[in-house]
Amino acid sequence: MKTTYREALRAGLRDALLRDERVFLMGEDVGAYGGCFAVSLGLFEEFGPERVRDTPLSESAFVGAGIGAAIGGMRPIVELMTVNFSLLALDQIVNNAATLLHMSGGQCHVPVVIRTTTGAGRQLAAQHSHSFEGWYAHIPGLRVLAPATLEDARGMLWTALQSPDPVMIFEHGALLGMDGELADDAGAVEIDHAAIRRSGTDVTLITYGGTLHKTLAAAEALAAEGVSAEVIDLRTLRPLDDATIMESVGRTHRAVIVDEGWRSGSVSAEISARIMEQAFYELDAPVGRVCTAEIPIPYAKQLEEAALPQVPAIMAAVHDVLGRMSTSVDGVPVLAETH
């Protein structure tokens, strides 16, 4: 059937609410308004205010309530409007949800799922557009998911709800309107492994979330130049699927990581380090990285686009690791930064 990323997320929510009476959704404007991004549209009318709960504008309070409900035997889905607002609940997420199992000697599980919208590309400026999923991937005790396809948008939630421990799902806002075909019987998907979205032999392109489709577009353009690029969709940022990454790099002998986070202390930095540690002697060139410019995301459309990873920069990074000249846009060279 034809659907959108937004509708696939909604289908996953509806399925979870139907399957398990312990599941409920809570967050700002998720009920009568239908969600800030219309993801929960219609669920309030179908399931009522006990299962789809509007909350006060206090992220710390309602994330804390979700953690308490999870400890008490419920299966809450807590929606944070944007990833930037998740910072207001850092104490609850990092100091409580992620640590209680350890601090209780394995006695206290926290089966809460926290969903949030991440990423830029929609002219929402610096307080609504960043990619902080890499920060949370740094935290032991959390599982961090980044659905980039309709199948994963539809299917990751139910699998996450089966976890006895906290899971964070980062849904890229620029993908909400993405449409495509989704099988009528689409359901839960596994969340333990990365996926090879395109096979190749010359270079491994490693990415996730909102940059997957730009990376696939770059791989398509590179194919026209005779470059065979393999594209890995990480899907899960914690724990990382090292085996899939290293197996691919072992075959292509080159890697470029595309990450909408900032370069310093990023997911791309962690993956680059792991490749150096585990597959150094397989490499024929240093690992390349394409990241967001290290500035707050601008509001102006042309500046926002310039700040984010784009297809020409991805292609330029591939040319760099292949030892070729960088590509150009309208005659202006695109210089990819690599380490």
Domain that holds residue 207: 195-333
- CA 202 – CA 100 distance, rounded (Å): 45
Domain-located, residue 338: no
Together in a domain, 54 and 202:
no
Considering the domain architecture, whether residues 99 and 133 belong to the same structural domain is answered as: yes
pLDDT value at residue 336:
38
Q: Is residue 189 part of a domain?
A: no
Residue 36 sits in the same domain as residue 158: yes
What CATH number does residue 291 fall under?
Answer: 3.40.50.920
- Are 205 and 302 in the same domain? yes
Active site residue 128: yes
Say if CB 81 and CB 116 are below 8 A apart: yes
Domain C-terminal end among 181, 208, 239: 181
Look-up: residue for tokens 């309709």?
150
Active site residue 102: no
Query: Does the residue 154 lie in any domain?
Result: yes
Let me know: does 143 contact 191? Beta carbons within 8 Å: yes
Please state whether beta strands 203-207 and 113-118 pair in parallel, antiparallel, or not at all (unpaired): unpaired
**Residue 205 and residue 92 share a domain:** no
Given this model, what pLDDT does residue 329 score?
45
Asked if residue 187 belongs to a domain, the reply is no
Same domain, 27 and 123: yes
> Do both 223 and 281 map to the same domain?
yes
| 190 domain-assigned | no
90 and 175 belong to one structural domain: yes
> pLDDT under 50 in the chain at which residues?
325-339
b/e 203-220 (16+ beta carbons within 10 angstroms → b): bbbbbbbbbbbbbbebbe
Q: How many domains, the chain?
A: 2
- Which of 147, 181, 215 terminates a domain? The answer is 181
Same domain (yes/no): 210, 67: no
* Shared-domain flag, residues 170 and 241: no
DSSP 209-268: GGGHHHHHHHHHHHHHTT--EEEEE--EEES--HHHHHHHHHHH--EEEEEEEESTT-HH
Domain boundary among 123, 146, 181: 181
The pLDDT, as a whole number, for residue 296 is: 96
- Residue of 28, 79, 128, 260 with catalytic role: 128
Does a structural domain hold residue 314? yes
Beta strand pairing call for 229-233 and 195-198: antiparallel
**Cα distance between residue 209 and residue 299, in whole Å:** 21
Q: Are residues 167 and 199 in the same domain?
A: no
How far apart (Å, rounded) are the C-alpha atoms in residues 188 and 209? 18
In a domain, 188, yes or no: no
Q: Is the pTM of this model over 0.85?
A: yes
Domain with residue 177: its CATH number is 3.40.50.970
- E strand intervals along the chain: 2-4, 23-27, 52-54, 75-80, 113-118, 143-145, 167-172, 179-181, 195-198, 203-207, 229-233, 236-238, 255-262, 288-292, 328-329, 332-333
> 219 and 114 in one domain?
no
User: Of the listed 7, 28, 59, 270, which one is catalytic?
Assistant: 59
339 within domain boundaries: no
Q: 14 by DSSP, 3-state: which?
A: helix
